[in-house]
Amino acid sequence: MRVKLKRMREDWVIYFMILPAIVFFAMFHVIPIIEMKLAFQNYRIIGENTWVGLKHFEILFSSPAFKDVLWNTVIISTMKIIFIFPIPVVLSLLINEVRSGTYRKYVQSISYLPHFLSWVVIAGIWISFLAPDGGVNIIRNFFQLPSIDYMTSKEHIRWVIVFSEMWRSAGWDSILYIAAIMKISPSLYEAAKLDGASTLQQMRFITLPALASTVVTVFILNLGFFMNAGFDQVFNLMNDSVISKIDILDTYVYRIGLLNGQYAYATAASLFKGVIGLFLILGTHFFSKKMTGKGVW
Amino acid sequence: MKKIKLLLITMLVIGLLAACFSEEGGTVTDTKEGGKTTIKVAYKDDGPSNEVAVKYYETLAEKLKADKDIDVEFELVEVAQGNYSEKLSLLLNSGEIPDLIYFQGGDQQIANQDLLLDLSPYIEKSEYLKDVLDPHHKSKLANYPYLLWVKPVGHKVAVIRTDWFNELNTSEALIANPTPENYKTFFQELVDSGKADYATTVAGDISELDHTFEMAFGINKTWLETDNGFVFSKVSDQEKEKLAFYRDLYANELLDPQFLTKQWDTKEDAFYSGEIGVIAGTNGKVVDFYNSRMKEINGDKAELTILPPAKGVYQGFGATDITKESRGLAISALSENKDLVFDILDYLASPEGQMLDRLGFEGEHYNVKDGEITLTDKYFAEWYSRYWEPIEVDLGTPISDETPMLSAPATESQKVVNQYFEEDNAFLIPEEYVAQWDAMENLYKEYSADIITGKQPLDTFDEFVEEWYAAGGEDLTKLANEKLK
């Protein structure tokens, strides 16, 4: 302990550099947890808030709208986990196999680009792309298939949410896995090649096992955000015809809490969301630890 | 040396933390600098970085001193970028409450905490404001005395290019008798003649069409009086008829098939490019903007013509909600300068105040020559009245006929909206119904969209009515019948 403190004193400049991150973390993550007590109060701008116990939770859980948005959130988040989570892993494996350096950089840059676009722009692109006279329907019509108005279709809108998110985030999310692949010793691949392993076998027996701990960690951390089904995305892609299919907890909290000024009610909904996220992280961590010996810590 | 470094760093950290956490919410103090009283103002887009706004408030302070001997200086509050209503709400809820606040929604929650001033006694004693109020302003103030917005009644008015309108054979019949049937015939010719791909569209919200058609189907109030008491108009038989009409327009490809995903910008682009023949815009300034943009793109012959509201059971642009202003100016009940702030609002309704608020800066936005005011291009490009726009304005000097404040179509839109003015019987939804109201509104939006676009048969409307009552409509209807009887 004394040695540690001594080292910290010696390297104080380095420790000092993490101070902004600590302040940021305290302001945006620790203080809001303390202020979550608002979920049990009636908010007053001036003067003391009054304690109301579980009143806001009772209203929340008795509201049929809340049950619908909760269900939508679970469905959309599950779809995103199942269909989007593996894509960056696959993409990183594929990018790793590209031998031409220039082409590889080109593919990486192109796949990262959508990440830098705002959802307002992405929504505009997807709405025109999926419109009855948009690109997708031109292709459908070419094959004598009827046009589908994907944006107003209750059957398709959740898939639009999944694919548009996949398009936006797959490239960027693959950076972590590409970095993990870069850390693998080339001697392992060389030895495998000498033993006659094919490219697929190298991927299966060297790359994937080396990626496993990163994949598990990212998966567990992602589960913490399970109830964040994507406010910006849904807000920009929603229209009157598909409200019942994609109205999620975050858009509901925004409408009721921010637009109607029901801050305590909105805090109750957010607290509920946070508690579910916490249980999911802890549950998955302990499950993973038991099954594979790997977890977040 | 090390100790000095450590000391400096510690001070820096303390300073940083203090900056982050020391903002204590509360009232605005009566700050006086050099005898001047500081008035804090929160107004959309009028932050300290907006040069025009800064000059506006500096000029206003000078005029107040010269004309009324009121010695003030204004401090503009920077409201974070984004949705103004949401950002303002966050600012106010943090405890920072300026003296004068412009609201665009979200005011009711602040008023419920007794933080907004009741303006009624002030207006009663005012020198100018009481004389510029229209009956609808007075009704709104009687119901909700915290928000003041002296502007003409606002409704969405349907507009079309005049050259197209004159070339259509069905135009005359439409003007003579604007029934929904004649509107449909007119729309059909507009499309069949190849002028527009679709007759009309809206920016994702079908209620834009309601302004033109709703009253023709008998919907003249939010709560319709029947033999069995008051019924919410959106679950009435009249609503079903109206939706059937929209459904017909959609099925005949007269209503844009992509109306649900249209935004305000794509709607306007489609209008200017000729893809759409008729759109609805708010009377006054918005119609003025549509008109100048249309002429800029398609020439003077494309000047806009205002279409009349459809005629049927009733005729009009819909009843005007008089429960409260949906936007406007409020004074903080915590302000130590309430009287002074109101005096400023009153001054802005005077001829001198109106010269600044309505016309801008002399030599920049207008010139006075030969006893006439001539408005400049800069006026039309950037100026708008931040405060009051009474219909009858007394500036002391006439405005030249060559540069009227509003174009002919915009003036006409004001005129027709005033001609059909009718008060609504809607009431403020109590706070405990907010979550239910949100669910009921979403039900309506989705069912109406599905019925219009043919995804659901018209009879589904009855299913919607049942669901609406179950989602809280029953309680709300009971409340309406108690309030309105």
Domain boundaries, chain A: 1-53, 60-117+171-292
**pLDDT value of position A260:** 76
Q: Do B210 and B226 share a domain, yes or no?
A: yes
Q: Do B201 and B234 share a domain, yes or no?
A: yes
Q: Do B40 and B133 share a domain, yes or no?
A: yes
**Chain A residues closer than 8 Å to B85 by CB:** 259
Kindly provide the ipTM of the predicted complex, given to two decimals.
Answer: 0.80
**pLDDT value of position B481:** 95
- State yes or no: pLDDT of B36 exceeds 70: yes
- State yes or no: pLDDT of A49 exceeds 90: no
Averaged pLDDT, B281-286: 92
Across the interface, of A45, A154, A255, the residue whose CB is closest to B115 is: A45
Contact A23 B435 (CB under 8 A): no
- Note the pLDDT tens digit of each residue in B380-432: 888 999 999 998 877 888 899 889 988 999 999 999 999 999 899 999 888 78
Q: Quick check: A49 contacting B, CB < 8 Å? A: no
Q: Do B314 and B329 share a domain, yes or no?
A: no
With respect to residue B306, please indicate whether it lies within any of the assigned structural domains.
Answer: yes
When mean pLDDT is compared over A56-70, A86-100, B331-345, the highest value belongs to B331-345
- Note the pLDDT tens digit of each residue in A76-103: 999 999 999 999 999 999 998 888 888 9
**pLDDT value of position B244:** 97
Q: The domain that contains B191 carries what CATH number?
A: 3.40.190.10
Among candidate residues B277, B303, B319, the one where a domain is terminated: B319
- Which pLDDT band, with edges at 50, 70 and 90, does B123 fall under? very high
Contact A261 B257 (CB under 8 A): no
With respect to residue B178, please indicate whether it lies within any of the assigned structural domains.
Answer: yes
**pLDDT value of position A281:** 86
Contact A262 B434 (CB under 8 A): yes
**Chain A residues closer than 8 Å to B89 by CB:** 258, 261
Asked whether the beta carbons of A158 and A79 are under 8 A apart, the reply is yes
Q: What percent of chain B has pLDDT over 90?
A: 74
Contact A239 B453 (CB under 8 A): no
Contact A63 B439 (CB under 8 A): yes
Q: Do B354 and B387 share a domain, yes or no?
A: yes
Across the interface, of A239, A241, A259, the residue whose CB is closest to B86 is: A259
- State yes or no: pLDDT of A179 exceeds 60: yes
The superfamily CATH assigns to domain A60-117+171-292 is MetI-like (1.10.3720.10)
Q: Which domain does B80 fall in, by range? A: 32-152+325-397
**pLDDT value of position A61:** 85
**Chain B residues closer than 8 Å to A66 by CB:** 435
With respect to residue B462, please indicate whether it lies within any of the assigned structural domains.
Answer: no
**pLDDT value of position A167:** 96
Average pLDDT, chain A: 90
Residue of chain B whose Cα is closest to the Cα of A47: B26
With respect to residue B379, please indicate whether it lies within any of the assigned structural domains.
Answer: yes
Among A240, A242, A249, the strongest candidate for a mutation testing the B interface, having the largest count of B CBs within 10 A, is A240
Q: Do B268 and B160 share a domain, yes or no?
A: yes
- State yes or no: pLDDT of B269 exceeds 90: yes
With respect to residue B470, please indicate whether it lies within any of the assigned structural domains.
Answer: no
Contact A63 B436 (CB under 8 A): yes
Provide the number of structural domains found in chain B.
2
- State yes or no: pLDDT of B285 exceeds 50: yes
Contact A152 B453 (CB under 8 A): yes
pTM of the shown model? 0.82
**pLDDT value of position B51:** 92
- Note the pLDDT tens digit of each residue in A250-269: 999 888 887 777 888 889 98
- Which pLDDT band, with edges at 50, 70 and 90, does B89 fall under? confident
Q: What is the DSSP string of chain A?
A: -HHHHHHHHHTHHHHHHTHHHHHHHIIIIIHHHHHGGGGGEE--SSS--EE-TTHHHHHHHH-HHHHHHHHHHHHHHHHHHHHHTHHHHHHHHHHHH---HHHHHHHHHHHHGGGGS-HHHHHHHHHHHSSTTSHHHHHHHHTTPPP--GGG-TTTHHHHHHHHHHHHHHHHHHHHHHHHHHTS-HHHHHHHHHTT--HHHHIIIIIHHHHHHHHHHHHHHHHHTTT---HHHHHHH--GGGHHHH--HHHHHIIIIIIS--HHHHHHHHHHHHHHHHHHHHHHHHHHHHHHS----
**pLDDT value of position B21:** 44
Contact B435 A131 (CB under 8 A): no
- Which pLDDT band, with edges at 50, 70 and 90, does B5 fall under? low
With respect to residue B233, please indicate whether it lies within any of the assigned structural domains.
Answer: yes
With respect to residue B480, please indicate whether it lies within any of the assigned structural domains.
Answer: no
Averaged pLDDT, B36-41: 93
Looking at per-residue confidence, does A61 or B177 come out higher? B177
- Name the A residues in 176-235 with CB < 8 Å from any B CB: none
With respect to residue B315, please indicate whether it lies within any of the assigned structural domains.
Answer: yes
Average pLDDT, chain B: 90
Among candidate residues B319, B334, B356, the one where a domain is terminated: B319
Q: What percent of chain A has pLDDT over 70?
A: 100
The Cα angle at residue B146 between residues B143 and B147, in degrees rounded to 5: 95
**pLDDT value of position A22:** 94
Across the interface, of A45, A64, A240, the residue whose CB is closest to B449 is: A240
Averaged pLDDT, B68-87: 89
**pLDDT value of position B22:** 41
Q: Do B293 and B379 share a domain, yes or no?
A: no
